[in-house]
Amino acid sequence: MKGFVHTVRAGGKIDLRLDASGYKRVAALTDQIVQALESSADHLAFDDDSSPEAIRQKFGVSKKAFKQALGQLYKGRRIRFLKPGIHLLDTP
């Protein structure tokens, strides 16, 4: 299993996480979401209201990371929320 060191504590103990922290995990995930959208006629049934289990099963990330990636795509005007689902917008 792959993990990421979050904190090194006194006594040499470490705190691990399954996902990279912060926006480091978002860049690769935004590409993954765009690829999934492109391969499914520019529409996915996933959005920020999707269950954490469904997101983890489809993309292998936490719901928080997924929502951060959706936020970045939305701010970049790459997606539109359909409620439910998302749609890939044409890019210039």
In order of their start, the domains of the chain are 22-88 (1.10.10.10)
The arrangement of strands across the sheet holding 43-44 comes to 43-44, 86-88, 79-81
What pLDDT, in 10s, does the model give residues 41-70? 999 999 989 999 999 999 988 898 899 999
Predicted model pTM:
0.73
Q: Which residues of 35-72 are buried (b: 16+ CB within 10 A; e: fewer)?
A: eebeeeeeebebbeebeeeebeebbebbbebbbbbbeb
pLDDT at 24: 66
Q: Predicted confidence band at 87 (pLDDT cuts at 50, 70, 90)?
A: very high
Show the CA angle centred on residue 68, arms to residues 34 and 55, nearest 5°. Answer: 65
| 3 state SS of 56 | helix
